Amino acid sequence: MKTRSYVLLAVILLAVAASPKLYALYQERIHFNKPLVSIIAFADLSIKGKFAREEKYYLEVEIERGYYTKAYDIDDPVRTYALSGKELYDQIQLDEKTDYAGVTLKSVVHIRELASDEAERLRMDPFLIISDQKYSKYVEIINLSK
């Protein structure tokens, strides 16, 4: 009987001692499996061109010089972003002088692909996604406003 009590006590102590570590592992697993999603309405872009490649549609835009190019230290303001679909691609008429008031950008970044400090900076400032060309692969244009 005494042996069972000691075994039960040892199991309880082991569970109490290991529970914070198990909880931390569980939280980390949940944290890294969630992507970082941002939706940004952005007006300081001008459209330079559009093209299609392998049934994917792209828009070449230029971030207008001003606040964002200075604040995010952008040297080359030309970016190429994917479009959400063919309908949006067909809607864009480059030969006409259509002024677009702005675009809505959606970015989905998987945390595992970034360093932890980089992911934290993107979480704190979603506009950081436009700061570097390497983030362009995460950005998709989901709407254009005329």
pLDDT at 58: 93
- pLDDT, average across residues 134-139: 88
Q: CB count, 10 Å around CB of 59?
A: 23
Rounded CA separation 4/108 (Å): 53
pTM for this entry = 0.71
Mean pLDDT for the stretch of residues 25-41: 75
28, pLDDT greater than 70:
no
pLDDT, tens only, 93-136: 887 666 677 888 999 888 778 887 888 888 888 888 888 888 88
pLDDT greater at residue 30 or residue 111: 111
Please state, in angstroms and rounded to a whole number, the distance separating the CA atoms of residues 146 and 138.
24
pLDDT of residue 81: 92
| Residue 54 backbone zone (phi > 0: left; psi -120 to 50: alpha; other: beta) | left
Q: For 59-94, how does the pLDDT look when each residue is reduced to its tens digit (9 = 90+)?
A: 998 888 788 888 888 888 888 999 988 898 888 888
Q: Write down the pLDDT at residue 43.
A: 81
Residues whose CB is less than 8 angstroms from the CB of residue 36 and which lie 6 or more positions away in sequence, other chains included: 107, 108, 109, 110, 111, 119, 122, 123
CA 107/CA 137 separation, integer angstroms:
9
For range 2-24, the mean pLDDT = 80
pLDDT at 95: 76
Residues in the chain: 146
Question: Where do the structural domains in the chain lie, given as residue ranges?
Answer: 1-32, 34-145
pLDDT of amino acid 57:
93
Mean pLDDT across 40-65: 86
Question: What stretches of the chain adopt beta strand conformation (E)?
Answer: 35-42, 45-53, 56-63, 78-83, 102-110, 139-145
Is 142's pLDDT higher than 80?
Answer: yes
